[in-house]
A and B are shown apart, each in its own frame.
Chain A
Amino acid sequence: MYYVHGVNGPVVTVRGGREFSMMDMVYVGPERLIGEVVGLRGDDIVVQVYEDTAGIMPGHPVEGTGAPMSLKLGPGLIGNIFDGIARPLRTIEKRTGCYLARGVNIPSLDAEKVWKITPRTAVGQTLSPGQVYAECRETNAIRHRVMTPPGVSGRVVYVRKAGDCRVNDTVVKLETPDDVSVKLTLAQEWPIRTPRPVGRRIPVSMPLVTGQRVIDTLFPIAKGGCAAIPGPFGAGKTITQHQLAKWSDADIIIYLGCGERGNEMTQVLEEFGALIDPKSGRPLMERTVLIANTSNMPVAAREASVYTGMTIAEYYRDMGYHVAIMADSTSRWAEALREIAGRLEEMPAEEGFPAYLPSRLAEFYERAGYVSALGDREGSITVVGAVSPQGGDFSEPVTQNTKRFVRCFWALDRQLAYARHFPAINWLSSYSEYLDDLAPWYEARLGRAFGENRARLARLLQEESQLNEIVKLIGADILPEGQKLVIEAARVARLGFLQQNAYHGTDTYMPLKKQAAMLDVVLTLIDEGKKLVDLGIPLGQLTATGIFDRLIRMKYELSDDKGDRLSRYKKDIRDCVARVLADHQ
């Protein structure tokens, strides 16, 4: 038994022991607050405590567990909401009421809940890491595959009958090659800061389809890829994350509320419980795990929360699912690192952040990827990290370092948000390096033209921004007709195509095929308009037909799934052009 020597906020020093290892989990004080060893200096052990340390005094007992901070993984994670160190918040509510109390040590999984399992192995078979030995239906949307933990293998000597089973009941007994008997239950433990091993990494080739036009068409993200959403407050980071969580075609969503608002987590809980997943026809909550460590919950647990989320993601990836993590916000995590580094009196680097900030970010983002898991199943983890740059200034360390480790960058723009253009993803400063990786996939499904159309759209927007510089100085009236067409068409592209209403019943999600067709319509407008301009007909005559404004409203009229509607718009464009032409002659 060891004793507390000093207290400074969440950092507690313990004196007198040399048996501790770095990152060991410890219990501090009579309330058994959970902590983690973050430093060893001679006889002094430095512990960061995941709960409020008020009331801790020198002489309080500290108990080591001899193991790093670990997470219990098994059925019951999906649909649940946890704090930063994976304690189930609903159970805590039952135990301690509306406010969070300290020293509540509740395991992540409900030990009493009964699952109906189907064994997938038999006595005499050999199990190796990653092999599935049982299955159960975790929710209506997710089948839970119970896998042999990494590092364990052997011959099966006992298998539980199909039927009721609780997480801690023995399902399989193994005899390892060195004749040790191992009991496997429905759950396994894994240290949160260690990546789970995989068979091998596979290059990304499939997009995470999100139904958001600006993302899927202009800046797509691959399954197994990483994206950052930086933006000042009010620019719509959270709504974009919510949209991705709701509509992306991942099998499982880990929504990580790291140092954000309590009401937002409540909103996710309410909305995801009510919204129906178009794929499975079940509530979205049945494929979602929520981790809520809001801004007023202890800072050390906030630091741990991203690892908790990632470990759960890896566990489901190993089952062969495509998992997407929405981390909102990684800046709060970086600030938690800074805060703890300050308490530990570590040397600050840029803006007070510790010098190891980039390596921590890299470690986190590199746990994403498309892999062949142990046991030969393909799964992926896609990470979408929100970044909240100080003052909306993207040159700050968290944004800059994140940029080095993600390949997709959706820059949110304050000016667009002020004009209520949502999603406020700036089309000039955002990028996706996955375009080339995903090109074959898009070509196979949407045809060659799509890639070209996308490039044309990007050029159109680029051209508009250059022309806007001139317009700002001299007004649009003086521009040549051809450039006026660019301005008008780009307006249709911005308002009609890029802008998407998250609260509109049908506009909130648009399938890829429709996106491609809609893009085609916008580009047809330019082609046809160009014919008039070439004949020297003023663009004003085409504008007067109202076709530009009709196309801007087009997205709201595509509610029914009739594809011919879109071709009708093309016909409309041609008709309008023909009419102007006839008038002219």
Chain B
Amino acid sequence: MRMEYIGLTEINGPLIVLEGVSGVSYEEMAEITLSGSPSASGASGASSAPGASGNRSRTGRVILIDGDRVVVQVFEGTKGLSLQNTHTRFTGRPLMLPLSPDILGRVFGGGGRPIDGLGPHIAVETRDINGSAINPVSRQYPRACIQTGLSAIDGMATLIRGQKLPIFSGAGLSHNELAAQIVRQARVTGDDEGAFAIVFAAMGVKNDTADFFIRSFEESGALQRVVMFMNLASDPIIERILTPRCALTAAEYLAFDHGYHVLVILTDIASYCEALREFSSSKGEIPSRKGYPSYLYSDLASLYERAGTLVGKPGSVTQMPILTMPNDDITHPIPDLTGYITEGQIVLDRTLAGGGLYPPIAVLPSLSRLMKDGIGRGMTRDDHPTLSSQLFSSYARVQEARALASVIGEDEISETDKCYMTFGRLFEKDFLQQGMTEFRSIDQTLEIGWRTLSVLPREELDRVDAVLLAKHYKGRNTR
């Protein structure tokens, strides 16, 4: 029989401490009930189970055991708890997420409980939300390209099924619009038109942002294929730490048990990391860079590495985390550590956005590490790798020409540099710029690419061999 402990020894931020406890295991779940008048408590009710008496019942998890002293983190926050008014019971098992194919189309709170008023679904099974690491030998190296219909992504940083490709953005940039467009337009080139599902995890985003996504899913008629996990900006931070884990557990279940191709949108990773820092400091841990805990890398990896495809399983988990870089700083610990784990990044740029360009994707720092094996002959088109490499190198040269022109004036630069200036403008206007509802096929994207390159003298295309030049180059032949 399970013991119930009355009262607490200590409350510290989201943590409670109990003493004299026995038979409790690490990471085990606890149920905390408040006695006394209901009005005394005031935590948000977003994640409370329907039917339960509001926020008077809370859940927590054991995060430290020292003999008979146990530290528990309370997901819904400790507001309203006192040292006397609580009854704590340990459940004897870790946090499990109930799962069934019926979760499609449902909305859950950040802690995995339904909040759409439809009541609990009938669980076929439950799973530990922490998941387990995929054995590297069981992974299938991802090769199937996902067409997003956006030239900047398809042409220059191709998204691959099973990849984790974050959007590095800044406050006020159009990352949400971009993510919504990708969700609307994404399709897989080639063979199996398998079932497609979206798992959307909101971590500390504003209500408006969450609404924007729901509306966008509705408009595209995708709502029945979306599972949502909502932890809004005003919801408790401890729950925010669980949100992506619940979402990924659901994604893995849909992908590897039911064969769906799942696209997971995690927004916003920055809020998640802030929550982690807040939680870590309340535990009294030794802070590392900028106050973030020393295990930030391992923690982020435990989320991002849950993307992939497995040998002999039909489904896939593709992740597109959205990350607003604090102060647009790509060397900040959050984007920095993310970049070291994810397979590339799509970077949005404020200058481009300021010039009215959509999508404002900064092509040079953007990268898709899995692109090289997912494009080319038999997958997209044989000239794709060469074209993208040439566009990168030429566009890099544009930056040099612009820097020079800004010092000595555009009239004074060499004829070649002037060509590069023209190319730069054309590349941004024709290739990057795109409507929010415009879908471009791979062929269209590549043709625009060659057309823009053709304003450069033939000799400047140093990455293209003679055969491809003859076939695709439409410009003047000499300098």
Binding site for B on A (CB under 8 A): 5-9, 13, 15, 52-59, 81, 89-90, 92-93, 96-101, 232-234, 257, 259, 261-263, 265-267, 269-270, 292, 294-297, 299, 332, 335, 338-339, 341-342, 345, 348, 351-352, 388, 390-393, 418-421, 471-477, 495, 503, 544, 546, 549, 552-553, 556
Contacts and interface: CB of A to CB of B under 8 A. Distances in A.
A15 B294 CA distance: 27
A90 B135 CA distance: 9
Contacts of A475: 404, 408, 412-414, 417
B349 interface: no
Interface in B95-147: 128, 130-142
B301 A55 contact: no
Contact of A5 (B66, B297, B339, B393): B66
B441 interface: no
A81 B137 contact: yes
Interface in B370-428: 370, 372-373, 385, 389, 392-393, 396-397, 403-404, 407-408, 412-414, 417
From A97, A98, A352, residue with most partner B Cβ within 10 Å:
A98
A390 B136 contact: no
B115 to A, nearest CB: 27
A95 to B, nearest CB: 10
Given A100-B132, A342-B285, A420-B393, A7 B340 contact: no
Contact of A262 (B308, B367, B393): B308
A506 to B, nearest CB: 13
Interface stretch (B19-27, B37-45, B234-242): B19-27
Contacts of B139: 262-263, 265-266
Contact of A89 (B137, B412, B413, B462): B137
A531 to B, nearest CB: 23
Please classify how large the interface on chain B is, using the bins under 10, 10 to 19, 20 to 34, 35 or more: 35 or more
Contacts of B336: 233, 390-392
Nearest to B370: A263
Contact of B306 (A55, A101, A296, A549): A296
A396 to B, nearest CB: 9
Interface string B304-318: 111010110100000
B140 to A, nearest CB: 7
B1 interface: no
A340 to B, nearest CB: 9
Given A99-B138, A263-B142, 8 more contacts: A54-B94, A89-B137, A99-B134, A100-B135, A259-B297, A267-B373, A472-B403, A473-B407
B305 A267 contact: no
A262 B134 contact: yes
A225 B246 CA distance: 47
A6 B396 contact: no
20 contacts: A54-B25, A54-B130, A55-B26, A58-B68, A98-B135, A99-B134, A234-B365, A257-B136, A259-B298, A263-B308, A265-B136, A294-B133, A296-B306, A297-B133, A299-B298, A345-B286, A390-B333, A391-B333, A472-B403, A546-B459
Contacts of B193: none
Contact of B344 (A234, A393, A553): A234
Contact of A352 (B294, B305, B408): B294
Given A93-B138, A269-B136, A419 B396 contact: yes
B207 interface: no
Contacts of B289: 351-352, 390
B465 interface: yes
Contacts of A421: 393
B65 interface: yes
A391 B372 CA distance: 25
A82 to B, nearest CB: 10
Nearest to B458: A549
Nearest to B65: A7
Contacts of B310: 98
Given A418-B396, A475-B404, A552-B462, A392 B133 contact: no
Given A98-B135, A262-B136, A338-B294, A267 B141 contact: yes
Interface string B445-479: 00000000000000100100100000000000001
Contacts of B417: 475
Nearest to A420: B392
Given A92-B135, A477-B414, A503-B372, A342 B286 contact: yes
| Residue with the greatest number of chain B CB neighbours at <10 A, chosen from A13, A81, A99, A299 | A99
Contact of A295 (B285, B298, B311, B333): B298
Contacts of A100: 132-135
B295 to A, nearest CB: 5
Interface string B130-169: 1111111111111000000000000000000011000000
A59 B294 CA distance: 29
B186 interface: no
A7 B64 contact: yes
B459 A13 contact: no
Contact of A549 (B66, B345, B408, B459): B459
Contacts of B94: 54-55
A57 B25 contact: yes
B305 A261 contact: yes
Contacts of A292: 136
A55 B130 CA distance: 13
B241 to A, nearest CB: 14
Nearest to B288: A352
Most buried by A among B340, B364, B403, B413: B340
B67 A6 contact: yes
A342 B294 contact: yes
Contacts of A294: 133, 136, 301, 305
B301 A419 contact: no
B432 to A, nearest CB: 16
Given A262-B308, A263-B141, A263-B142, A332 B297 contact: yes
Contacts of A263: 139, 141-142, 162-163, 308, 343, 370
Contact of A55 (B27, B135, B332): B27
A196 to B, nearest CB: 27
A341 B295 CA distance: 11
A529 B25 CA distance: 77
A133 B241 CA distance: 57
A314 B64 CA distance: 39
Q: Which of B132, B137, B297 has the most CB of A within 10 A?
A: B137
A99 to B, nearest CB: 4
B305 A392 contact: no
Contacts of A81: 136-137
A234 B339 contact: yes
A9 B301 CA distance: 16
Contacts of A8: 64-66
A56 B24 CA distance: 8
Contacts of A351: 288-289
Q: Please indicate which of the listed interface residues A57, A270, A477, A503 has the most CB atoms of chain B within 10 Å of its own CB.
A: A57
A556 B372 contact: no
B132 A261 contact: no
B262 to A, nearest CB: 16
Given A98-B313, A352-B294, A53 B26 contact: yes
A261 B297 contact: no
A101 B132 CA distance: 7
Contacts of B459: 546, 549
A547 to B, nearest CB: 11
B33 interface: no
Given A262-B305, A549-B462, A335 B67 contact: no
Nearest to A257: B136
List the 7 closest A-B pairs by CB distance, nearest first. A391-B331, A295-B301, A419-B396, A57-B25, A296-B305, A352-B288, A233-B339
A487 B413 CA distance: 16
A418 to B, nearest CB: 4
A81 B66 CA distance: 37
B141 to A, nearest CB: 5
Nearest to B466: A553
Nearest to A393: B331
